[in-house]
């Protein structure tokens, strides 16, 4: 297997970072913004944790942020509705706002469909 193409600063090029093979090797960084201990918040946390455990295994880190306890982070990340899942890494930054019940769309955005785990 060839190493990812690098530029002079020894960083992967944009094309290498966007390839599906490169995404699966990298660790996913997820942030879930919720509003308190509501039913929707608990369901969103359970669904995203299930996704991390079953699909990402050790390749993902999840941080759950309550906007009532950390309003500065909500402002900084421009959260206008909850629950909001932000996929920070790998680039590009992506957001899922509202109902996280559509498990298939989360897998598509995380580029996990190439593994053949789901059928569209």
Burial class (CB in 10 A: 0-12, 13-18, 19+), 35: middle
Q: Is residue 20 part of a domain?
A: no
Average pLDDT over residues 3-7: 54
C-alpha pair distances (Å), 82 with each of 50, 67, 103, 113: 19, 9, 17, 26
Q: Is residue 14 part of a domain?
A: no
Give pLDDT tens digits for 51-90.
Answer: 888 888 878 899 999 999 999 999 999 999 999 999 898 8
- The number of domains in the chain is 1
Q: What pLDDT was estimated at residue 85?
A: 92
Q: Is residue 106 part of a domain?
A: yes
**95 strand-pairing partners:** 86
Structural domain for 76, as ranges: 26-113
Distance CA 99, CA 62 (A): 18
Q: Is residue 15 part of a domain?
A: no
Q: What pLDDT was estimated at residue 11?
A: 52
Beta-carbon contacts of 27 under 8 Å, excluding residues fewer than 6 positions away, are 59, 60, 61, 89
Q: Is residue 100 part of a domain?
A: yes
Question: Is the CB of residue 27 less than 8 Å from the CB of residue 60?
Answer: yes
The CATH number given to whatever domain includes residue 90 is: 3.40.30.10
C-alpha pair distances (Å), 40 with each of 27, 45, 47, 81: 27, 9, 10, 12
Has residue 94 got a pLDDT over 50?
A: yes
Distance CA 16, CA 5 (A): 6
């Amino acid at each position: 297997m060839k190493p990812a193409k690098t530029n002079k600063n020894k960083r992967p090029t944009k094309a290498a970072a966007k390839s599906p093979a490169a995404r699966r090797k990298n660790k996913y960084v997820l942030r879930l913004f919720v509003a308190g201990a509501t039913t929707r918040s608990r369901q969103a946390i359970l669904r995203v944790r299930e996704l991390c455990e079953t699909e990402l295994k050790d390749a993902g880190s999840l941080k759950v942020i309550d906007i009532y306890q950390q309003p500065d982070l909500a402002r900084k990340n421009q959260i206008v509705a909850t629950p909001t899942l932000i996929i920070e890494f790998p680039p590009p930054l992506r957001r899922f706002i509202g109902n996280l019940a559509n498990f298939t769309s989360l897998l598509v955005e995380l580029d996990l469909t190439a593994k053949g785990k789901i059928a569209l």
